A and B are shown apart, each in its own frame.
Chain A
Amino acid sequence: MRQGKRFELVVEGPVTPAVLAQARKAAEQLLANPVIEDVVSVTDADAAGA
């Protein structure tokens, strides 16, 4: 088992679906390497009450 990583991104303005989609793209193309890592979750932390 290997531990995972958590990235908190701060954006200017509201977290729209387009912004979330951009964050997911960043997660899949840069923040994670799909050969060895999986993107588990990309969510709006404020909306989730976190």
Chain B
Amino acid sequence: MKIGVVTFPGTLDDRDAARAVVRGGGEAVALWHADADLRGVDAVVLPGGFSYGDYLRAGAIASIAPVMGPVVEAARAGMPVLGICNGFQVLCEAGLLPGALVRNDVRTFVCRDQRLRVEDASTAWTSAFETGQEIVVPLKNGEGGYNADERTLDELEGEGRVVFRYLGGNPNGSRRDIAGVRDASGRVVGLMPHPEHATEPGYGPTEHGGGASGDGTDGLGFFTSVLTALASA
């Protein structure tokens, strides 16, 4: 299965995301922001970083980059798309996911091994987990505060579309401790923490016992889940 990893000018985590795809058993395909098509991929990862230098707003300019036309079209047709950190911001700006990310309430960049609760293990990117399972992956952001109006937040909760919640303290002021959400189909998922940095023993989180895996590889499940979703599609 081919998983596309998009690089925008200013993207940082495309290499790690591509490596995570491979470690999960997929084939990573590099996509460029100026691409007009998706090179035949079966799913897309929008990685973290500072696309276009965060000019205007984080993710705002990337959301209207040429490659996002086919990404939005494919996502609406059911292609699995994962947005990590800046990629989550891009998905929100593109209107594929509700809400927006604002500057951390602590006013500083936050980097730490973050405990999360998987609230929904039914999505294309989380089926390798159990609903309610605790995992640990790195968190590193300056504008990670998830915001939406009360009605939207109630809808997300009511429809079970909160996919991840922060545990052990809310690091950035996200409403209702929300770390990640999904679209109605469960195939488009966005989150601020970084599963792609937790896929290889010795290079992932070491705090909190290295997470559920015990060796800092809790993020691997994202990349095996999508292969399961594609195989059953």
Query: For residue B145, which residue of chain A has the nearest CB?
Result: A36
Q: Which residues of A contact B102 (CB under 8 A)?
A: 2, 36
Fill in one digit per residue for A18-50: 1 if any B CB lies within 8 Å of its CB, else 0. 000000000000110101100000000000000
**What is the number of contacts between chain A and chain B, taking CB atoms within 8 Å?**
20
A35 near B57 with CB under 8 A, answer no
A35 near B148 with CB under 8 A, answer yes
Chain B: residues with Cβ within 8 Å of the partner, total of 14
B175, chain A: closest CB distance, angstroms? 11
17 pairs, CB–CB < 8 Å, chain A vs chain B: A2-B102, A2-B103, A30-B56, A30-B60, A31-B56, A33-B57, A33-B60, A33-B93, A33-B100, A35-B92, A35-B98, A35-B99, A35-B100, A35-B148, A35-B149, A36-B102, A36-B147
Task: Give CA–CA (A33, B102) in the complex, Å.
Answer: 11
Q: Which residues of B contact A31 (CB under 8 A)?
A: 56
Dominant secondary structure at the B interface:
loop
Task: Give CA–CA (A15, B174) in the complex, Å.
Answer: 41
- A contacts, CB < 8 Å to B: 2, 30-31, 33, 35-36
Q: Which residues of A contact B98 (CB under 8 A)?
A: 35
Q: Which residues of A contact B149 (CB under 8 A)?
A: 35
Interface-centre pick from B57, B64, B103 (highest chain A CB count, 10 A): B57
Task: Give CA–CA (A47, B208) in the complex, Å.
Answer: 61
Q: Which residues of B contact A36 (CB under 8 A)?
A: 100, 102, 147
Q: Which residues of A contact B148 (CB under 8 A)?
A: 35
Query: For residue B92, which residue of chain A has the nearest CB?
Result: A35
B56, chain A: closest CB distance, angstroms? 7
Interface-centre pick from B102, B103, B149 (highest chain A CB count, 10 A): B102
Q: Which residues of A contact B93 (CB under 8 A)?
A: 33
Interface-centre pick from A30, A31, A33 (highest chain B CB count, 10 A): A33
Task: Give CA–CA (A33, B148) in the complex, Å.
Answer: 11
